[in-house]
Structure 1
Amino acid sequence: MFALEIVWDPSKGLDLGFFMLHYYSVMWIVAFLLGLNIMKRIYKHEGQSEKSLDSLFIYSVVGIMLGARLGHVIFYQPELFTEDFFSIFLPVKFKGGFEFTGFQGLASHGAAIAMIISMYLYNKKVLHKTVLWILDRVVIPVASGAVFVRLGNFINSEIIGKPTGSDFGVVFKQLGETFPRHPAQLYEAFSYVFVFLALMYFYWKTKKSEQEGFLFGLFLVLLWTVRFFVEFMKEPQGDEYFILMGFNTGQLLSIPFILIGLYFMFVYKSKRSDVEKTRS
């Protein structure tokens, strides 16, 4: 019988002498740099200035990283607020001795909320269009970035899948295991490639970018639907504080995003579009 069992035991990162540069951190850097290049092409197409693009990059990095970290702590590791507060915001831990940990413990739900808030602030201070205008475009590089973040999780042997109970799967040797698990991180990363391609298609090949809120809604529906179903194959993350009808924290948090996405795709109508139609 054909068996596909992979023993996964990579190094954690690059030893630079004075600290370890974790591959997970590298994946985040790649995600942001690729995202910057994608948005540069989009902004050029939209006739936006490079100065506004530079500001967008800063707002995105600060907002998403801060939101992702706070989201993880709030939903999965709230004890850090009392046990090791400064480790929430710094890539180090102090409890049990000082240690450089890199950027670990980041939640996509928190990142999504922070992205919306940071884009609101960016639009108010810099762009002066509408929040949905920038969200419709920024979700394209965000989708591509999600691919690399999940690859980073795979390299770190974190957010692991459940045991397969067969000869198929990945043995996470870093965790001291000898049995195969579902490579849930790779399932998710592979699915996000198609989310990214779908958004690229609708932006460049259709006029859906003119329907304010559609691309943002499509992103929410596709990405969080993927997350919802992949969660069935994942081990619980930290302490699961919310479990309802067999759904875990990640799934319950995904449902509102999916519903919001459907609203923007099929219900929402821009007031600006109505004004333009009236004038015409």
Structure 2
Amino acid sequence: MINWNVDPNIFTIFGKEIRWYGVLFAIGLVIFGPMIEERIWKKEHLPEKWIQKMAIYVFLCTVIGARLGHVLFYDPAYYFANPIKILAIHEGGLASHGGALGLLFGMWLYSRNVTHKGWLWGLDRLAVPVGLVAAMIRMGNLMNSEIFGRATTMPWGFRFLRSNEYWKFIVGQSSDVSQLIAKNGGISEMQKMHPDIYNQVINTLPAAHPTQIYEAIIYLVIFGLCMWLYFKRNITAKYNGMIVGIFLIGVFGSRFFVEMLKLVQEPWEIDLVNKIGLNMGQVLSIPLVILGIYFVYNAVTKAKEQLIK
């Protein structure tokens, strides 16, 4: 098993913590994503001002959508009671489903106000690098020791030693370990006063599925597929909406199944699982998978119609 005790903060500047999560998110969204889009723009000889405006639409709508998604889907009561906290993005709380919806809306605005080429035209080209960005975000979740899975005996399981959820939901399942920790004054006191016992206890703790890594690997595969479809197969020349459809099916279809391994993010999700057998991540994934299927079906249908003509 892997003992994961990485500090989520890189450094502190002017009293503000700079976290790996934010840096990885920014590198993907502001550096790698635009670099790949520039290759697409050069390949098709598109106006440079279009890509500059796309970057603005994508960045703003993704961040706003991800934040509002967390607020509305996962903890609306808290944020409606403390509306100023909606702006406290540095404290964490970005939902990938909200980010996807924000992205879809932002590209609708972009196509309407900038390119006038149609919604799917822009989405196909944008979807090519998004898998890479999504993988980097999941690695940010790993650095935060958050959004992991249930207990596992697999040798690649992680002990997320900095996570309260890990100690509560994973370690809490082992009464013997909990009693030993309590007997020695808690985990922090044990580490200071009884390092030998601490090391022994840590190495006998249960581990959890590193679902952040599972998702990151899947997203990288989808990223590679989208790159191949665009640059090698030139699929956008024939199928309008095919790449974004495959992207949505791949990302949120896999997300639906990976969610089966995850701990729920909010306590009320336990009731949701008991009632319908699905958590919020799964519920939100279903319409996006359906939308992806529609895009693929529409792309194939339109292509057939063009052949008949």
Given candidates 160, 163, 176, the residue that maps to 1:175 is 163
SS of 1:174's equivalent in the other structure is coil
Given candidates 73, 76, 92, the residue that maps to 2:74 is 76
Alpha-carbon distance, 1:267 to partner: 3.7
Q: Which moved more, 1:81-90 or 1:265-274?
A: 265-274
Alpha-carbon distance, 1:42 to partner: 0.6
Alpha-carbon distance, 1:104 to partner: 1.7
One-letter amino acid matched to 2:2: I
Aligned to 2:289: 258
TM-score by length of 1: 0.87
Higher CA-based Rg: 2
Q: Is the 8 A contact 2:9 2:19 kept in 1?
A: yes
SS of 2:208's equivalent in the other structure is coil
Q: Is the 8 A contact 1:212 1:270 kept in 2?
A: no
* Gapped regions of structure 1 (runs ≥ 5): 92-101
Structure having the larger proportion of residues in helix:
2
Aligned to 2:48: 50
Give CA-to-partner distance per residue, 1:134-173, whole Å, 9 cap, x none. 0011011211100000000010011111111466510011
Identity of aligned residues (%): 35
Q: How many pairs were matched up?
A: 264
**1:123 has 2:111 as partner:** yes
**1:221 has 2:256 as partner:** no
Alignment of 1:201-280 (within 5 A): 201-210=228-237, 211-238=239-266, 239-240=268-269, 242-243=272-273, 245-268=276-299
Alignment of 1:118-157 (within 5 A): 118-157=106-145
* Gapped regions of structure 2 (runs ≥ 5): 168-204
Given candidates 6, 9, 20, the residue that maps to 1:10 is 6
Q: Is the 8 A contact 1:80 1:88 kept in 2?
A: no
Alpha-carbon distance, 1:11 to partner: 1.2
RMSD across aligned positions (CA): 2.2
CA distance in 2, matches of 1:166, 1:146: 25
Give CA-to-partner distance per residue, 1:115-148, whole Å, 9 cap, x none. 1110011111111111100001101121110000
SS of 1:16's equivalent in the other structure is strand
Distance 1:40 1:273, change over 3 A: farther
SS of 1:186's equivalent in the other structure is helix
CA distance in 1, matches of 2:74, 2:119: 29
Aligned to 1:59: 57
